[in-house]
Chains A and B, each alone.
Chain A
Amino acid sequence: MKFSIQVNEGPYQHQASDSAYQFTKAALEKGHECFRVFFYHDGVLNGTRLTTPPQDDRNIVNNWTELAEKYDLDLVVCVAAAQRRGIVDEGEAERNGKDATNIAPRFRISGLGQLVEAAIQSDRLVVFGD
């Protein structure tokens, strides 16, 4: 089955991102396909490389990056939600006159059309959040 995943909550405060990660990993291990993971609302905060969780805790951002590397996953952060919350790549920094970037490896910033396209192209859109 071809899945797409929507993550609506940031890391650590809420289990949504962990659950989405576990689900995506399990689905891929079972041979299913993941068309895209789309991060929306505070979910965009999963895409900052500047998190430093304690060493004995899981690193949610790195988990996503590593999963993306292993399975060539498409991790997309919503641009409008990202601008509100300060997730920045080089293009956004240039466009909006910011002095730094913080996007994590394998994440990319793009528009809501990517979510709609994912819903159209996939057999199931699975939403994680409250």
Chain B
Amino acid sequence: MSDTKNFMFLNRRAPYGTIYAWESLEVVLIAAAFEQNVSLMFVDDGVYELTKSQDTAGIGMKNFSPTYRTLGDYEVRHMYVDKASLEARGLTADDLVQVEWEDWETEESVDNIVEVVDSERVAELLEESDVVFSF
């Protein structure tokens, strides 16, 4: 099983209210362990998954948002956020967590792999993917 594919995880839902976002993250971690090229895309309410300062104490749910910040350590190289979805919700890139990435072998590093992209680019990125996991 030496094949490497471009995996795109399309995250469309708010982090709480349903379990899709959380269980999606579990697939991301496994896919990265399979040494696939893993990217994430956040659209619609999915952009809330990356917002800073989440506090779930009032709803009795585990706050799993810190996991997103560790994805760079799992060799996730790209996290794209749909600009139109952000704007429609009154959010900007400043409201989102930053995710660092570093290649342990080459020491190449990127301060923040979270990138806001326009709708045209969203479509291109989905087109370029071999597999789209939609959550």
Give the B-binding residues of A (Cβ under 8 A).
Answer: 6, 8, 40-41, 80-81, 111-113, 115-117, 119-121, 125, 127
Residues B20 and A41 in contact, CB atoms below 8 Å apart: yes
What are 30 A-B pairs at a CB distance below 8 A? A6-B133, A8-B135, A40-B23, A40-B27, A41-B19, A41-B20, A41-B23, A80-B23, A80-B26, A81-B23, A111-B30, A113-B30, A113-B33, A115-B27, A116-B30, A116-B34, A116-B36, A117-B1, A119-B5, A119-B7, A119-B31, A119-B131, A119-B133, A120-B1, A120-B3, A120-B34, A120-B36, A120-B131, A121-B3, A127-B133
Is B63 close to A, CB under 8 A? no
Additional pairs, 20, CB under 8 Å, beyond known A80-B23, A120-B5: A6-B133, A8-B20, A8-B135, A40-B23, A111-B30, A112-B30, A113-B30, A115-B27, A116-B31, A116-B36, A117-B1, A117-B34, A119-B5, A119-B31, A120-B3, A121-B1, A121-B3, A125-B131, A125-B133, A127-B134
How far is A6 from B135 in the complex, measured between Cα atoms in Å?
11
Q: What is the predominant secondary structure among interface residues of chain A facing chain B? A: helix
Interface residue total, chain B, C-beta cutoff 8 A: 18
How far is A126 from B117 in the complex, measured between Cα atoms in Å?
26
How far is A43 from B122 in the complex, measured between Cα atoms in Å?
28
Residues B27 and A112 in contact, CB atoms below 8 Å apart: yes
Identity of the chain A residue whose Cβ is nearest the Cβ of B131 in the assembled complex: A119
Q: What is the predominant secondary structure among interface residues of chain B facing chain A? A: mixed
How far is A55 from B30 in the complex, measured between Cα atoms in Å?
41
Identity of the chain B residue whose Cβ is nearest the Cβ of A124 in the assembled complex: B131
Residues of B within 8 A of A117 (CB): 1, 34
Residues of B within 8 A of A40 (CB): 23, 27
Give A1 Cβ to nearest chain B Cβ, in Å: 14
Residues of B within 8 A of A116 (CB): 27, 30-31, 34, 36
Give A82 Cβ to nearest chain B Cβ, in Å: 12
B21-56 contacts to A (CB < 8 Å) = 23, 26-27, 30-31, 33-34, 36
Give A20 Cβ to nearest chain B Cβ, in Å: 14
